[in-house]
Amino acid sequence: MKNIIIKEPGGPEVLTVAEADIPTPGPGQVLVKVSAAGINRPDVMQRLGRYPPPPGASEIPGLELSGEVIETNGDFEFPVAGDRVCALVHSGGYAEYAVADASLCLPVPDNLAVDDAAALPETAFTVWNNVFDRCGLKKGESLLIHGGSSGIGTIGIQMATAMGATVYVTAGSPEKCRFCEQLGARLAVNYNEEDFVEKITEAQGGAGVDVILDMVAGGYIGKDIQLAAPDGRIAIISGLKGWKTEIDCRSLMVKRLTLTGSTLRPMSAQYKAAIARNLEKHIWPFIGKGQTKPVIYRKLPLEQAAEAHAIMESSAHIGKILLINE
């Protein structure tokens, strides 16, 4: 099979097409003929040599995929050979074939193209884990997503609004802000032109925000604390603006805030399987009705993985970038 390898740590140009044996599914796994794989920030970090796969996992990058199951290994009802699935994987998505844990597979709804479903797993799992599990967002509460036009942001807006929350976002251009509001955000603030703390506090009538999903970190964390409502929850999922900052712990105490964070890849299959079942129960019905859907920025052939990474690093995209097996 064709696959993408990382020749050495470096820029997008180190992503190279290679050939490898088709993998064999282990116990509890399935073999998927990959239709598409999603591009994610952790893939970029892996390419740079800063986010290696877990021990025993494939060195081929790619944390999510969609396609057709062609072989199974284990006694489980779903999926079976012939099923269209999307799946969260430890690695290996940038290939023509990949193995996935059966428990981390989700059905591709009939109304969704199998290629497009590759945009769902990493983003939906991340949003559910941090916004709903770790931060406990409830119907009627408010959520702020930094990076609203990203893959995580675009699906997060839709998931949270579908579950009855009010969503605010930050984004880096008027075009991105308009798009986020069309997806359902009550207000999108251009962080290059406006003070998002001031604008969102005003929109909330001074009440603050219940949950904040932050993929920027750095100096944003202090602003998150300032903007958070009493008993608010802040989840850090990346550090695009840096990993270290100084914060006012008095505000954490006075507001009774929870500051948390997570990385999904190292978590156990059992932990991630519980997320999959929650997504299937609570979010997949909205996808099946077309009320929630992945936002696709561009699809490129597998051989153009380097170009896909360059687009990701430019931050010019809105939504997801996919690699397609043609």
Residue-level pLDDT, tens digit, the chain, 326 residues: 999 999 999 999 999 999 999 999 999 999 999 999 999 999 999 999 999 998 989 999 999 999 999 999 999 999 999 999 999 999 999 999 999 999 999 999 999 999 999 999 999 999 999 999 999 999 999 999 999 999 999 999 999 999 999 999 999 999 999 999 999 999 999 999 999 999 999 999 999 999 999 999 999 999 999 999 999 999 999 998 999 999 989 999 999 999 999 999 999 999 999 999 999 999 999 999 999 999 999 999 999 999 999 999 999 999 999 999 98
- The backbone region for 181, taken as left when phi is positive above 0, alpha when psi lies in -120 to 50, beta otherwise, is alpha
The CA-based angle 162-146-324, given to 5 degrees, is 75
The amino acid present at 321, given as its one-letter code, is I
The CA-based angle 82-88-91, given to 5 degrees, is 105
CB 67 within 8 A of CB 35: yes
Q: Which domains does the chain have, with CATH numbers?
A: 2-120+265-324 (3.90.180.10), 123-261 (3.40.50.720)
User: Helices 196-203 and 220-227 sit at what angle, rounded to 10 degrees?
Assistant: 20
CA distance 33 to 49: 27
pTM above 0.75, yes or no: yes
